[in-house]
Structure 1
Amino acid sequence: MYKNSMVIGKFYPPHAGHAHLIAAAAAQSENVSVLVQGNRFESVTVADRTRWLSVEFADTPGVQVIAMRNDCPEDYHSEEIWKAQNELMRLALKSSGVTSIDAVFSSEEYGVQLAEAFGAEHVLVDLSRTTYPIGGTLCREDLGVAWPYIIGPARQELATRIIVVGAESTGTTTLARALSEHYRPRFPRLVDVSEYGREYTYEKFDALRAERADAVLDEMVWTEQDFGRIGARQNQMENDAADVCPLVIADTDSLATTLWERFYIGEHSYGSYHAAEQLPHRDLYLITDHEGVDFEDDGWREGEHRRAEMTEWFKETLTEKGHSWILVTGDHHRRMQTAVEIIDLILAQRSGFTSPPWATRTVLDGAEA
């Protein structure tokens, strides 16, 4: 067992190969310092990468993840640049209470030179990347392909989340399904995140009918606990979808659940508010306009006369919470055109990993990846 080991990397973004390297170091060391290096030219902050790795290894004894700002150029053939880089690492370690290193774990050939600079042993782990055939370049260039390899905490925050909300019978489900079909050829693992509240309504009514066969819908009594379960389940469905695909299109969410709770029970009910406080990050809300859309009574709806009020609630709430939202109006074609135009731009922005000019590419099995 080594007493103090070090792992360095950009972790841009952190993936299964990185996790394997850190786990290998942890298995052979009392303490492992993971230096997360990030520079001003990269579009994912070093703080985010550090947090994701900290969550991933929260239950692994001895692992300490350290954020390290590093705007120094890279040049493996320059002794001066090596010294500048090493000093940044030494001070990052020193600031976290680490003054000596016994081993440097890496999957790179430069690990030998780095270990020598710290008077440590070099431990090479899976140089050929056969255990996990993944590199940072592939992750940055094609998130869809690389998604299963990116660590779980990073997937949750890197996923682009589009939430469709609106009053009853305003085309929310129609739009959400159409968007999913539009993007599924590009993202084959895209999951339909349906409105759990509707499913729960069916289950609740079936339970009432089991007690009394002649029961009618108006006799159902809604409680805070009902909306608490709906909100929590809606969050879980959304996060499960983000775990398997970098694009999430959801037909409502737990924040919308708080408004439906207000609609059915009143201002005094807060059963779903805890779930809404656990809301994952949002990229965009699409509010379906009630104007120009005929109300279709499918036997489960009761809010035709309150559609305008409910639409206003969505606008007010999303504005107060500081979320980005667009009112999608017009016919279905126009709504899709509006939605797709902005979603395409968001996807391009969210998947655009910028790098400085000296950044090197990971090469796997003789091919760039």
Structure 2
Amino acid sequence: MSKSFQRGLIVGKFCPLHKGHEYLIAQASEACADLLLISYTKPEFPLCGPLERERWLALSFPHIQRLVIDDAILQRLCIERGIADIPEIPHNDAAEEMHRQFVGWLCLVLLETTVDAVFTSEDYGDGFAAVLTQCFQQHDPGLPVVTHIKLDQQRITVPVSGTRVRLDPHANRAFLSAHVYASFVKKICLLGAESSGKTTLAAALAQHLQTLWVPEYGRELWVAKEGKLQFEDMEAIAVRQLASEDHLGPQADQWLVCDTSPLTTLLYSLAMFQRAADALQQMANTQYDCIILCDIDIPLIQDGTRQDHAFRLHQQAWYVQQLRQRALPYLLVRGNVEERLSQVMGYLAGK
């Protein structure tokens, strides 16, 4: 099928990428043989950094060319391409002309390309297209005029804006693809020695928050292999644990409760094999929004899979030492499950 334009352009903050953006991009893609997406913002918005924006766009539109930058990324790309005169990204409040000239420079100098159409949902697109036409024709007078295509200006097809989503991404999750919404789900990590009530609290907390929890895969594998784990299993456990978090995150609601983390797997690898794979040590650095450490103020229940009281003491002390060494804030909870749940909810209220 023939396309109306050879190469189109969409420029946006995508903070975050919402279904209005996706509609605009899909419509432009239908009209163009090739499409270029450029994303920048200054200042950046929380939880919408360039790596997140690149990931969202890559997952939603893997076959469309993307340029997602901040000043550091722009500098690196320019150095790689041998560009000496490196501009700074204009501030969001800068004059429209600065932004238009900057995008023209990105196309001509950094990407060495031009476009024949620009797609927006705003009136400013006419002036934007005119400046791009001027920039490109100064480079090559034979290039065509850049056409502005305005789509869904009244936000009728997708009634949403980035500002609205940023104010409350949870209330507006219907306007976000699942992989985008997952970036706004906060992860709660539960740690604790054997028989410290961690799994019981994880289930209770998820129920109270009306969300999901991620079971401890290492325990499942331990049971399945009757305790005969190999060194290679340690890294695989951590990989599977994080994959489960990634799988359930888009389905959660505001919070995702994680019954353990790769830090626990690191502990068992060191205890069982006196060493740990480099990849496991890296995964043990996985960040969580809240860390809850369950105290060992409840009796050890020996179910046939747990070690002795001495190991339990060692394990709990190791967690405390690691959390302090890594400068990770955490909440130590004590008492029965209702008391612990109350302590956690009070802690989360401040997050």
Shorter-chain TM-score bucket reads 0.7 to 0.9
- The question of 1:304 aligning with 2:280 is answered no
Where in structure 2 are the equivalents of 1:255-294 lying within 5 Å? 255-263=263-271, 265-268=272-275, 270=277, 273-274=279-280, 277=283, 280-290=286-296, 292-294=297-299
Equivalence for 1:182: 208
State how many pairs are aligned: 318
Deviation (angstroms), 1:156: 4.5
Q: What amino acid sits opposite 2:196 in the alignment?
A: T
Equivalence for 1:253: 261
- The question of 1:104 aligning with 2:118 is answered yes
Contact persistence 1:227–1:261 (CA under 8 A):
yes
Closer, same or farther in 2 for the Cα pair 1:153/1:341, shift >3 Å? same
Q: Give the TM-score normalised by structure 2.
A: 0.76
Equivalence for 1:203: 224
Equivalent residue for 1:335, pick from 322, 325, 340: 340
Structure 1 unaligned blocks of 5 or more = 75-80, 185-189, 206-219, 347-369
Equivalent residue for 1:51, pick from 48, 51, 54: 54
Aligned mates of 1:173, 1:253 — CA distance in 2 = 12
Contact persistence 2:117–2:147 (CA under 8 A):
yes
Contact persistence 1:14–1:154 (CA under 8 A):
yes
Q: What amino acid sits opposite 1:326 in the alignment?
A: L
Equivalence for 1:231: 238
Moved more, 306-315 or 94-103: 94-103
Closer, same or farther in 2 for the Cα pair 1:225/1:274, shift >3 Å? same
Equivalence for 1:208: none
Aligned mates of 1:310, 1:224 — CA distance in 2 = 19
Higher relative contact order (CA closer than 8 Å, sequence separation 6+): 1
Deviation (angstroms), 1:166: 0.6
Specify the SS of the correspondent of 1:38.
coil
Aligned mates of 1:52, 1:98 — CA distance in 2 = 24
Q: Deviations over 1:98-143 (max 9, x none)?
A: 4643111123343334323323211234445565554324422332
Equivalence for 2:197: 171
Aligned mates of 1:278, 1:145 — CA distance in 2 = 32
Specify the SS of the correspondent of 2:104.
helix
Closer, same or farther in 2 for the Cα pair 1:63/1:43, shift >3 Å? closer
Q: What amino acid sits opposite 2:261 in the alignment?
A: D
- The question of 1:314 aligning with 2:313 is answered no
Aligned mates of 2:332, 2:313 — CA distance in 1 = 13
Q: What amino acid sits opposite 2:14 in the alignment?
A: F
Specify the SS of the correspondent of 1:163.
strand
Q: Deviations over 1:58-105 (max 9, x none)?
A: 73154444447442427xxxxxx3323323433444452346431111
Q: Deviations over 1:39-60 (max 9, x none)?
A: 2273345524543345336731
Q: Give the TM-score normalised by structure 1.
A: 0.73
Moved more, 44-53 or 160-169: 44-53
Q: What amino acid sits opposite 2:126 in the alignment?
A: V
Specify the SS of the correspondent of 1:287.
strand
Deviation (angstroms), 1:17: 2.8
Closer, same or farther in 2 for the Cα pair 1:29/1:203, shift >3 Å? same
Closer, same or farther in 2 for the Cα pair 1:177/1:133, shift >3 Å? same
Aligned mates of 1:41, 1:231 — CA distance in 2 = 32
Aligned mates of 2:57, 2:109 — CA distance in 1 = 17
Q: Deviations over 1:238-265 (max 9, x none)?
A: 11121222421111122212212333x2
Q: Deviations over 1:125-167 (max 9, x none)?
A: 4445565554324422332243354356544543211100110
- The question of 1:116 aligning with 2:124 is answered no
Closer, same or farther in 2 for the Cα pair 1:169/1:127, shift >3 Å? same
Q: What amino acid sits opposite 2:323 in the alignment?
A: L
Aligned mates of 1:113, 1:93 — CA distance in 2 = 17
Specify the SS of the correspondent of 1:345.
coil
Equivalent residue for 1:42, pick from 34, 41, 45: 45
Over the residues paired in the alignment, what is the CA RMSD in angstroms? 3.2
Specify the SS of the correspondent of 1:308.
helix
Closer, same or farther in 2 for the Cα pair 1:72/1:268, shift >3 Å? closer
Structure 2 unaligned blocks of 5 or more = 72-88, 134-145
Contact persistence 1:195–1:252 (CA under 8 A):
yes
Closer, same or farther in 2 for the Cα pair 1:260/1:147, shift >3 Å? farther
Equivalence for 2:86: none
Deviation (angstroms), 1:324: 3.4
